[in-house]
Amino acid sequence: MRASARAIRRNADALAALIRDHGIDIVHARSRAPAWSAKEACAKTGATLRWIFDLALYPVVFTRWEGVECMNTSPFIYAFEQENIAVTGPGTGATSAPTAFQTPQPAPRVVEVSPDNGATVGVGMPITVTYAGAVADRSAAEKSIFVVSPARAAGTFEWLSDNIVQWTPAQFWPAHSQVKASVGNMPLDFNVGSSVVGVASISNHTFTVSIDGEVARKMPASMGKPKHPTPVGSFTVLEKQNPVVMDSRTIGIPLNDPEGYKLTVYYAVRITWGGVYVHSAPWSVGQQGYSNVSHGCVNLSPDNAQWYYNNVGIGDPVIVNA
C-alpha cells in the first residue's frame, strides 16, 4: 500500500505539470488510483475533476484476483483484510439489503445540439441543447454541458423552455478558432469564423459593422418608432432569409390597422424570435440616418442590407444601443 501511495503522488506531480503546461481546466477520471492522482493534481493547480459514468465509453476489461475472474467495465472491487463481504445489486442474492441511496434522475435523451459538429459560426454563438422531454433536474443537465477549449471559458445558462437550455459565453469566442465542448458525454466541436459585430445606435440612426476589429462599413439606418421601439441589448444572428414575408399580425397589429402591413422583404437577418430583423427597407431610405420610423427592425438601404447579408453569419453579434 505504501508503494501505491508513492505511485499516486508521482502520478499526481506528473499530471499537475501537464495541467500547467497545457492550460488544462478539466480532468476526467473513472477508477480509483487515477482519481486519487487526479484529485491531488487538481488541488495543486485549480483544475476541475469530473467523473464520467457512461459505460458505453469504456471497454470491457478482464480482471483476476486470487482465483476470482471478472469481466466488466471496472476493475475488481478491493476489500483488503475484510471478511464476509457481500456485493449487492440488481439480480444478486445478497442476504442483507443494501444501503439505500438516492440516484440522480437521468435527463431525457438529447435530440438536438446547436451548433452542429463541424459548423462555422459567429463569435457570439451560444450552445443550445434540446432534450426529448421536460428536464426535472436542471442542475444535473447543466453540469453535463461544459466547454473544454478555449480554456477557462465562462458563460451562463438560460432555460428557453422546460426541455431547451442555452449556454451563452460570457465573452465572445476568439475569432478564427475551434471550440471543443461536451454535451451529456457527447463531443461537440465547431469552428468560429471572423469577428463580425454589428452595432446599431438608435439615437445616431446608424448601423456600424466591424470585421476582425476594423470598421468595415458605417451605414445610415432607421430603427423603431416610439410606439414600436427597437429593443436595446446584445443579440446574435439567428437566421438569414431572402426573402421573407413580414406580416404585422404576428406582432399584434391587424392588417386593416393604419399601422398594418404585409410585405415581402429582402436581405433579412433575424436577431430575435420576436420578429426583429436587420433588413432592406427601400421605403424608408429618406428617413435612414435621420429618424426612426420602423416597427422595431433595423432598416437599411437595399445596397447596405445586401452587403451586410453577404458578410454576416449565424451567431454573429448585434448590439443595439440607445
Cα separation, 142 vs 288, in Å, equals 43
Which cell numbers hold the place of 20?
500547467
- Residue type, position 9, single letter: R
Partners of 246 in beta bridges: 263
Partners of 159 in beta bridges: 165
Contact 260, 246 (CB under 8 A): no
Which cell numbers hold the place of 95?
442476504
Task: Report the largest interatomic distance among the alpha carbons of the chain, rounded to a whole angstrom.
Answer: 90
Which cell numbers hold the place of 306?
445586401
User: Residues 168, 173, 175, CA angle at the centre, nearest 5°?
Assistant: 150
What are the Cα distances from residue 254, in Å, to 137, 174, 250? 42, 44, 9
User: Residues 248, 254, 259, CA angle at the centre, nearest 5°?
Assistant: 65
Residues with active-site annotation: 279, 297
Cα separation, 162 vs 138, in Å, equals 9
Phi-psi region of 144 (alpha: psi -120 to 50; beta: other; left: phi over 0): alpha
Q: Which residue has the cell 454589428?
A: 198
